[in-house]
Amino acid sequence: MACELVSCSNEALISGGEMNRSPNYLCLVLVLQVATASAQTLDETKQEAFRFLEEDQPRLAMIGDAIFSYSELGFQEFKGSKLLTDLLEKEGFTVERGVAGMPTAFVATYGSGHPVIGLMADIDGLPVQSQKPGVAYHDPLIEGAPGHGEGHNTNQAVVTGAALAVKQLIDRYGLEGTIKVFPGVAEELIGSRGFMAKAGLFDGLDAMLDAHLGSRFGTSYGLTNMGLVSVEFTFHGQTAHGASSPWLGRSALDAVTLMDVGWNFAREHLRPEQRSHSIVTWGGDQPNVVPDRASIWYYFREFDYERIRALHEKGRKIAEGAALMTDTTVEERVFAGTWPFNGNKVLAEILQANIERVGMPHWSEADLRLARALQKELGVDEVGLPSEVTPLRRATQRASSTDAGDVTWLVPYVRLTFPSQIPGVTFHHWSSGVSPATPLGHKGIVVGAQAFAGTILDLLLEPAHLDAVRAQFEEDTKDVTWTSLIPEGTIPPIELNADKMEKFRPLLAEFEYDLESGKTYIEQLGIAYPTVRDRP
């Protein structure tokens, strides 16, 4: 609705509440806000966002602590997803739940028009990673239970915090632009974003900002990580009595074993750069019954699309050979696939400038004591915590993978590493669960959210930035056509991990974070910060 500048009575100006204020007064306020926005510098607007996030630290900590306590595995992040969607919806975001065939996936949208900025981050935990936060030695909350052995609980706190800070400024100053928040559902299974990409959920984005904790504060650009195909081979045979008449049986487990042996012999003739690993997901019911069904699940990793496809095809041929040798049949199911990811240099430069503007957190003596005690426990250099941001650098391709890879070939992309982790820890290990739900982890969340908020404001308020980002993206992708590694007709394997969570949810309920307690999670658990091993 258009407004014109009007006069207001003194009574209207001094009345106490919104309900008592006249329409003319509210119209004048809107005009004054627009005038203020036009006069305010970008730097001043960023400072507002930074202050908002400093003051919002308890809520950001609550998000991270709650997700930590839920300890939900990939595709089973129901409580974490509900926490985030309920919060974003309450703050005025339009939320679409259950997107791309995944119940825990969502898209939360706020604002209107361009630019359209995406924010995403992983949310899932890992099996057998239960760990008490703030304790500098292995001490699980529940032996054998899932936990956050990579600290993904912090990631969505960064993304949500940045989105809420910028939302306040969109409202205050009538800024043009749209924010979209996506969760990295089942990232540890390379599980969701390939399906989101195939569903067109990233279409129309001008940039995507992704957050992941680490022990440094920085970003990079260029190719990094491997792509992969996640595929399960299931063999079918014939049951028989294992002692009385095994010759009447055809063992699917024999086929799985032969495939495993065959692949391991093939390794000598594969590129040293490739990575491939497997687990047997089903081997039979009991020893005296020849197994008529058995399955083996592989991750095939390589550095580019063609090599990933070739590695998958080699695995398929070895599976067919194993079936031929055992007179069984074989079928495959692709669970997921992703390309290596490519960070946009111009977008990384914009993010890096905001990282340097925000600077490192101010670590307390307790934070430093926790870090050094954990490093001592792990037998690594006792370096404590970093005091300076990491300079911008070109990435190098390494052996790990993330399903964010597909996104990077569809939209300009950058990944932030924010400092909620302790140097020297190992991901997918209990040590990575020590810091993410502590004051140390909370400080990393705040600076990460501030760096993201500053970057979003640069993109909303400086159109030249987006022009340069788009030009870089077009240069990076001019000879590349993204093709999904997920076959047409594949549905997300949302049943994965359901059995594990069914087993552990009742046990985890005892340790679930109370959102109304007014305490942090370690305070609720009664854990002294830090708790370190007594040594002579």
pLDDT in tens, 400-452: 999 999 999 999 999 999 999 999 999 999 999 999 999 999 999 999 999 99
Q: Tell me, what's the pLDDT at 66?
A: 99
For residue 29, the surrounding DSSP H or E stretch is: helix 23-39
| 365 & 419 share domain | yes
| 113 & 175 share domain | yes
Q: Does the global pTM surpass 0.85?
A: yes
Q: Provide mean pLDDT across the span 467-486.
A: 97
Q: Which among 293, 312, 338 is the end of a domain?
A: 338
Residue type, 391: P
Q: Provide mean pLDDT across the span 80-91.
A: 99
- Domain membership of residue 1 (yes or no) is no
Q: Tell me, what's the pLDDT at 406?
A: 97
Q: Which among 275, 310, 338 is the end of a domain?
A: 338
Residue 21 has pLDDT above 60, yes or no: no
Q: Provide mean pLDDT across the span 27-35.
A: 39
Residue 18 has pLDDT above 60, yes or no: no
Q: Tell me, what's the pLDDT at 72?
A: 99
| 176 & 84 share domain | yes
| 23 & 61 share domain | no
How many whole angstroms separate alpha carbon 72 and alpha carbon 508? 10
CB-based contact 508:79 (threshold 8 Å) = no
- Domain membership of residue 3 (yes or no) is no
The residues near 93 (Cβ < 8 Å, ≥ 6 apart) are 108, 109, 110, 163, 167, 181
Residue 496 has pLDDT above 90, yes or no: yes
Q: Tell me, what's the pLDDT at 536?
A: 53
CB-based contact 157:95 (threshold 8 Å) = no
Residue 277 is part of a domain; what is its CATH number?
3.30.70.360
- Domain membership of residue 467 (yes or no) is yes
- Domain membership of residue 209 (yes or no) is yes
Q: Confidence band (pLDDT; 50, 70, 90) for 26? A: very low
Mean pLDDT of the chain: 93
Over residues 233-276, the pLDDT tens digits come to: 999 999 999 999 999 999 999 999 999 999 999 999 999 999 99
| 352 & 491 share domain | yes
For residue 183, the surrounding DSSP H or E stretch is: strand 177-184
Q: Tell me, what's the pLDDT at 397?
A: 85
- Domain membership of residue 192 (yes or no) is yes
Q: Tell me, what's the pLDDT at 218?
A: 98
How many whole angstroms separate alpha carbon 70 and alpha carbon 79? 7
- Domain membership of residue 254 (yes or no) is yes
Q: What are phi and psi of 107, to 5 degrees?
A: -130, 125
Tell me the sheet residues that pair with 276. Answer: 300
Q: Where are the alpha helices (DSSP H) in 295-438?
A: 305-326, 345-358, 365-378, 405-408
| 164 & 239 share domain | no
Q: How many domains does the chain have?
A: 3
| 334 & 344 share domain | no
Over residues 289-340, the pLDDT tens digits come to: 999 999 999 999 999 999 999 999 999 999 999 999 999 999 999 999 999 9
The residues near 506 (Cβ < 8 Å, ≥ 6 apart) are none
Residue 120 has pLDDT above 50, yes or no: yes
CB-based contact 385:440 (threshold 8 Å) = yes
Residue 35 has pLDDT above 70, yes or no: no
CB burial string 128-157: b at 16+ within 10 A, e below = ebbbbbbbbbebbbeeebbbbbbbbbbbbb
| 467 & 490 share domain | yes
How many whole angstroms separate alpha carbon 83 and alpha carbon 70? 11
- Domain membership of residue 532 (yes or no) is no
Q: Which among 309, 338, 367 is the end of a domain?
A: 338
**Full domain range(s) for residue 201:** 42-224+340-525
| 32 & 132 share domain | no
Q: Tell me, what's the pLDDT at 39?
A: 53
Residue 12 has pLDDT above 80, yes or no: no
CA–chain centroid gap for 321, Å, is 38
| 24 & 65 share domain | no
- Domain membership of residue 365 (yes or no) is yes
| 267 & 151 share domain | no
> In the structure encoding, which two tokens stand for residue 536, read together?
């002579």
